[in-house]
């Protein structure tokens, strides 16, 4: 089945209606996104995270909040987690999530990791989400370059940092992901050849967007998530040779 893609403005409106019209709080969607990312990391590393060393790159916004939530779950599942913050000035909900990790005594540091990258098994990119525009700020770009130069696999949350969410054009500093876990519906960037190259294997997570809102978009969410809350998407071409996304 074909899976619809959204522009950044369409996704913003979908988030807004979910929060304002239904009362589904941001923290609830953030929790679902973070749990989905933690699950993807566990499956990527082979069913268990016990003893696995995972570096989570965190931005100041809600995408960063999802990364922080994933760190909590992975820590509880036995992983050795290091959080690296692009900035200490986090938005309200990510800051609350970070305070939980501080109480759990999860390792948190700022800017480029001092520990050798060879000590990690996986990097998670939660620096910037679908609202990103233009080139990443220097503090974010430094972390992107660290990840790309490390030789380690990276899983991006929603879209790779540095990738234009609408056109799929990479900025001068763009995460080259092994996999991307996108949220609610895939973004338009995944339809471009460059977007696909930087996103790697593509997965989609259910974050509790109401079924009625999917219906308004002409999407049957029950057919997407009927078997699981995280599903694999496939790159394909339609009868007109256009790039499309499908779910098996």
For residue 184, is it within any domain?
Answer: yes
Stated pTM of the model: 0.96
For residue 129, is it within any domain?
Answer: yes
For residue 160, is it within any domain?
Answer: yes
Summarised one tens digit per residue, pLDDT across range 55-98 is 999 999 999 999 999 999 999 999 999 999 999 899 999 999 99
Tell me the C-alpha distance between 248 and 204, whole Å: 12
Tell me the C-alpha distance between 185 and 84, whole Å: 27
Summarised one tens digit per residue, pLDDT across range 140-165 is 999 999 999 999 999 999 999 999 99
In the predicted model, is pLDDT for residue 111 greater than 80?
no
For residue 130, is it within any domain?
Answer: yes
Q: C-alpha dihedral over 23, 25, 31, 33, to 10 degrees?
A: 80
Residue 151's domain spans which residues?
Answer: 8-246
For residue 2, is it within any domain?
Answer: no
The structural domain count of the chain equals 1
Tell me the C-alpha distance between 83 and 64, whole Å: 10
For residue 188, is it within any domain?
Answer: yes
For residue 1, is it within any domain?
Answer: no
Tell me the C-alpha distance between 165 and 59, whole Å: 17
For residue 180, is it within any domain?
Answer: yes
Please state, in angstroms and as integers, the Cα–Cα distance from residue 169 to each residue in 105, 107, 193, 214, following that order: 38, 34, 9, 27
The CATH number covering residue 67 comes to 3.40.50.10260
């Amino acid at each position: 089945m074909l899976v619809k893609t959204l522009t950044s403005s369409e996704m913003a409106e979908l988030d807004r209606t979910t929060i304002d019209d239904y009362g589904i709080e941001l923290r609830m969607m953030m929790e679902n996104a973070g749990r989905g990312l933690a699950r993807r990391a566990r499956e990527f590393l082979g069913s268990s995270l016990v003893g696995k060393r995972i570096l989570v790159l965190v931005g100041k916004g809600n995408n960063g909040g999802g990364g922080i939530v994933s760190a909590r779950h992975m820590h509880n599942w036995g992983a050795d987690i290091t959080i690296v913050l692009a900035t200490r000035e986090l938005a309200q909900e990510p800051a609350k999530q970070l305070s939980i990790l501080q109480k759990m005594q999860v390792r948190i540091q700022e800017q480029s990791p001092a520990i050798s990258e060879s000590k990690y098994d996986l990097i998670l990119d939660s620096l910037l989400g679908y609202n990103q525009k233009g080139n990443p700020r220097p503090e974010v770009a430094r972390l992107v370059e660290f990840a790309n130069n490390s030789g380690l696999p990276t899983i991006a949350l929603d879209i790779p940092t540095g990738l234009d969410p609408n056109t799929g054009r990479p900025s001068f500093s763009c995460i080259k992901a092994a996999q991307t876990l996108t949220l609610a519906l895939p973004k338009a960037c995944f339809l471009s050849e460059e977007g696909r190259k930087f996103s790697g294997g593509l997965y989609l997570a259910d974050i509790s967007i109401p079924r009625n809102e999917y219906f308004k978009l002409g999407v049957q969410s029950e057919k997407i998530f009927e078997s699981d809350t995280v599903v694999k998407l496939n790159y394909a071409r339609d009868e007109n040779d256009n790039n499309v996304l499908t779910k098996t």
